[in-house]
Amino acid sequence: MRINSLEALKDYKSRLCGVSSGKTSILMSLGTCGLAAGGAKVADAIRAELDKGLSGKYEAVSVGCMGLCYCEPTIELRDEAGRSAIYGHVTPEQIPAILAAGLDGEAAGATKVKRTWYYPEEEENKDGVLQARIALRNTGRIDPEKIDDYLKYDGYQALGKVLKTMAPEAVSQEILDAMLRGRGGAGFPTGKKWQFAAAQPKGQKYMICNADEGDPGAFMDRAVLEGDPHSVLEAMAIGAYAIGADKGIIYIRAEYPLAIERLQKAIKQAREMGFLGKGIFGTSFDFDIELKYGAGAFVCGEETALIHSIEGKRGEPTFKPPFPAIQGLWKKPTVVNNVETYANVAAIIRKGAAWFKSVGTSGSPGTKVFALAGKINCVGLVEVPMGTTLRDIIFGLGGGILNNRGFKAVQTGGPSGGCITTKNLDTPIDYETLKSIGSMMGSGGMIVMDEDNCMVNIARFFLDFTCDESCGKCTPCRIGNRRLYEMLTDICRGKGTEETLEELRTLSNVIKDTALCGLGQTSPNPVLSTLDNFFEEYEAHVKEKRCPAGVCTALLKFTINDNCIGCGLCAKNCPTGAISGKVKSKHVIDQDKCIKCGVCQQKCKFKAIDKK
Amino acid sequence: MTCCCECSKEKALDKLMRLEPEKTSELTAFIDGLPLVAGDVEKNRGFLVETLHRAQGIFGYLPVEVQQVVSERLGLTRSEIYGVISFYSYFTDKPIGRYKINVCLGTACFVKGAAKIVDELKAKLGVDEGETTADQKFFLGALRCVGSCSLAPVVMVNNRVYGNVTPDMVDQILADCED
């Protein structure tokens, strides 16, 4: 069925919503994490239970990620009045009890999880919850494979509104007024980008979606694509109308098979209903979208590199200007926006720029999705208004540090970002404040670290990543980062001196100033921010040849304490024969022979081996 | 005397047809189905990455003959195709094991001890990162974040995901890989 007018769409929606089934929906979170955690078995158990006679009362719905990754598999019971109950760590065995209890009862043995978000588009924040879901508004509550589910939540109405009632310039202006900024990391105003491309002479133009989510530790784009693919398609069509493009491309990682499958289905459905293709909404506007696959190159997240990759070349960046909005794919004006940026667009068009600005801070309105991971209790996806403090995110939503350890730092911005410490936990975060405390927004990965993480080693980890992913085109990035990595390796192995620390800083600044693209210019950030915040840890490595966190093996010393009962197990397993002693008396480790492999500590049953 | 342009040698397509007739037909059928424009090298190049994806899906890797066939059909030089293959980590020109074991080395997995898993696998398989065992069964590789950070550390074997992996689980993971 094709929809040709906004009225027809609204009609269709009210018919969809008007049909009351009287059933309670069971939303089953079946994104990649949900499936890996055993969600499919839970789904089978639910379906089996419904077949036993509960199908009049319940309806099973597969949805994308709810963001509660730490307690997958998760399910939510929700009735038509909006009452809901969320259960986490669900096992197939708990299903009969949960379904018998329903929304009113309590299921013994099952874990209920509190909802920590509200939907600014639909409701007031009455309970003072921390999360506000705009980009993730549908993720986790609609079936991503059914376009009707998307339409029930006002899907494609924003597209209908712009095509029928707004001039292209007005669309760009609305997005500019809303001050929507690029959620991929740099924070460039999206409306500006659209205006630049719109100002180019008429002709072939392209609308690209950057779904090459490569930052280690960031998975919000995957969640949107798996859980709400239509929101991206709709926004791309809106942008295309604003700039005058008729062709869209989604550049997606080949490592996201489920997201690819769902996008393909969504594109097909949108074409069938006339939201993509020729004469959209019965107007003269044509727009269609195709998928292009990445092939594993982090640098392709940089827009000029991404464009080269689509053109079938090596994904090397080129100098800007000319900016892609002027000269992009096949040398035509091209807009490249990130998935999360697109996910905000339809809501802004529906509710207006002023509404969007009522959320977040004045310089960075709206929300940001963060992928909370690392040494934290509640790993997951959270969407918070800009200006929320790290303390609220880590200790409020994240539930604090794993195993009650001490908080040491949080790394934001991936390999381009930096580490933030306790002293900045109460800074309200947006693009500017994060920059001022030596990190950056990046795509929104947030990795929490505790006392057991060595910051020199973390910096080395990121440099290892950048060396691997540097495309090799410019010298500062190709060779400079390699040198940084070698210096950090020296420090971790106890070969660093105080001069090494000076050299680290100097070289970092040179790379920052001279590298060609965003990847190189930001790659020294992890080094600089750890040098600034954890200088004493670097000093301990070079002056005392000591790793305070006990991570850098070469600097550790294994010794045997008084717990030793002389069983000889360690001596038997030591690969270099460094341990000696009489049976039933305390053994000793010959430090000259010890290669610090740690086997003795693993084998000892009496906690008699110390590692310091 | 043989000619330096290798014209006397068996053509890549013929050789491939002789060795792998079905796979080769599948690849040529795919390329024939692409909307290529004769003479428009720039636009045709846009199909290179997806052609290589398909070719690697069919052959498991991208041997030189496959590269040559792709080069002839798309009208691109072989050096250019090799340039693209070597640039992207997803493509490989060497045969890899039937079971691709990839340890995620994204940040979340790293801070939760993924390096220990790699060490354990290296010791158990007797190969280094990026290598395949002599019996062509296992390939050991590293990935940069599969986006399943809540399950860190993560190991992927072909399309199966193992979460919260500890070194003790390595034996079981290998045991799951029975043909």
* Class of the CATH domain delimited by A455-543: mainly alpha
For residue A166, the SS3 value is: coil
| Chain B residues whose beta carbon lies within 8 Å of the beta carbon of residue A215 | 145
Average pLDDT over residues A231-260: 95
**Model confidence at B1: pLDDT above 60:** no
The whole-angstrom distance between residue B127's C-alpha and the CA centroid of its chain comes to: 18
How is A168-215 classified by DSSP, letter by letter? HHHHHHHHHHTT-B-TTTT--BHHHHHHHHHHSPSS--EEEEEE---S
Residue A18 pLDDT more than 90? Answer: no
* Interface probe, candidates B111, B122, B162, B170, chain A, greatest A C-beta count within 10 A: B111
Q: Is the ipTM of this complex over 0.90?
A: no
pLDDT for residue B130: 87
- Does the pLDDT at position B8 exceed 70? no
Nearest Cα to A256, choosing from A294, A305, A216?
A: A294
d(CA B51, CA A516): 30
Task: List, in order, residues 6 or more apart from B103 with CB less than 8 Å away.
Answer: B109, B114, B117, B118, B121, B140, B141, B142, B143, B153, B154, B155
CA distance A395 to A508: 32
Following CA atoms A580, A583, A587, A593 in sequence, which dihedral angle do they give, to the nearest 10 degrees?
10
Could you tell me the pLDDT band of residue B3, with boundaries at 50, 70 and 90? Answer: low
Shortest Cα–Cα distance, A308 to chain B (Å): 9
The reply to whether residue A447 touches residue B108, judged by beta carbons under 8 angstroms, is yes
May I ask the CATH class of domain A367-450? alpha beta
Q: How far is A514 from chain B (nearest CA, A)?
A: 23
> What integer pLDDT is reported at residue A183 of this predicted model?
93
Residue A524 predicted with pLDDT over 80: yes
Closest to A5 measured CA to CA, from A161, A176, A233: A161
Q: What is the mean pLDDT of residues A454-483?
A: 94
On the question of pLDDT at A168 being above 80, the answer is yes
Would you say residue A225 has pLDDT above 60?
Answer: yes
Residue A311 contacts B where some CB pair is shorter than 8 Å: yes
For B124-142, the pLDDT digits (tens) are 999 998 889 999 899 999 8
What topology is assigned to A557-611 in CATH? Alpha-Beta Plaits (3.30.70)
Find the mean pLDDT for residues A27-51. Answer: 90
Q: In chain B, which residues touch A (CB < 8 A)?
A: 42-50, 52-53, 83-84, 87-91, 105-108, 110-112, 143-152, 154, 159, 161, 163
B127, B174 Cβ separation under 8 angstroms? no
Task: Look at residue A557 in the predicted model and tell me its pLDDT.
Answer: 86
Mean pLDDT of A100-118: 90
CA-CA-CA-CA torsion for A215, A216, A220, A226, nearest 10 degrees? Answer: 100
For B73, phi then psi, to 5°, come to: -70, -40
- Measured between beta carbons, the chain A residues lying within 8 angstroms of B53 are 254, 293, 295
Of B18, B89, B28, nearest to B55 (Cα)? B28
| Predicted local distance difference test score (pLDDT) of residue A229 | 97
pLDDT at B5: 65
Hey, of A29, A30, A32, A33, which one would you mutate to test binding to chain B, going by the most B CBs within 10 A of its CB?
Answer: A33
Q: How far is B2 from chain A (nearest CA, A)?
A: 34
pLDDT of residue A459: 94
The confidence score (pLDDT) of residue B7 equals 62
Instruction: Share the mean pLDDT of chain B.
Output: 89
- Which pLDDT band holds residue A111 (cuts at 50, 70, 90)? very high
Cβ distance B144 to A469 less than 8 Å, yes or no, reads yes
Please name each of the domains of chain B with its CATH number.
12-87 (no CATH), 99-175 (3.40.30.10)
- Between CA A244 and CA A358 the distance in angstroms is 30
Higher pLDDT, A595 or A488: A488
pLDDT in tens, A181-223: 999 878 999 999 999 999 999 999 999 999 998 888 888 999 9
Out of A36, A222, A414, the one facing B163 most closely (by C-beta) is: A36
pLDDT of residue A588: 93
Mean pLDDT of A571-596: 90
- Give A486-510 pLDDT, tens digit per residue: 999 999 999 999 999 999 999 999 9
pLDDT in tens, B148-169: 787 889 998 987 888 889 999 9
Q: Domain A147-354, what architecture? A: 3-Layer(aba) Sandwich (3.40)
Give the percent of chain A with pLDDT over 90.
Answer: 76
Q: How far is B15 from chain A (nearest CA, A)?
A: 26
CB of B173 closer than 8 Å to CB of B155: yes
**Per-residue pLDDT tens for A119-130?**
999 988 888 899
**Is the Cβ pair A215, B145 closer than 8 Å?**
yes
Residue-wise pLDDT for A415-454, tens only, equals: 888 999 999 999 999 999 998 988 888 888 899 999 889 9
Question: Distance between CA atoms of A467 and A483, rounded to whole angstroms?
Answer: 10
User: Residue A166's pLDDT is what?
Assistant: 97
Q: Residue A217: left if φ>0, alpha if ψ -120 to 50, beta else—which one?
A: left
Task: Using CA coordinates, name the residue in chain A closest to B45.
Answer: A312
Token reading at A562 = 């008084």
A 350-409 near B (Cβ less than 8 A)? 371, 373-375, 379-380
Separation between Cα atoms, residue A432 and residue A412, nearest integer Å: 14
Is residue A213 less than 8 Å (CB to CB) from chain B? yes
Across chain A, mean pLDDT equals 93
| Region A22-115: CATH code | 3.40.30.10
Task: Confirm or reject contact between A324 and chain B (CB < 8 A).
Answer: no
Chain A 128-187, residues with CB within 8 Å of chain B CB atoms: none
Does A35 score more than 90 pLDDT?
no
pLDDT at residue A553, as a whole number: 83
pLDDT at residue A308 in the model: 96
Residues 408-467 of A with CB under 8 A from B: 411, 414, 445, 447, 449, 453, 458, 461-462, 465
Summarize pLDDT for B56-76 with one digit per residue, the tens.
999 989 999 999 999 999 999
What percentage of chain A carries pLDDT values higher than 70? Answer: 100
Residues 81-120, chain A: which have Cβ within 8 Å of B? none
Question: Could you tell me the strand order of the sheet in which A84-88 lies?
Answer: A58-63, A24-29, A75-78, A84-88, A111-113
Whether the predicted pLDDT of B2 surpasses 60: no
- Domain extent listing, chain A: 22-115, 147-354, 367-450, 455-543, 557-611
Report yes or no: A207 and A240 within 8 Å, Cβ to Cβ: yes
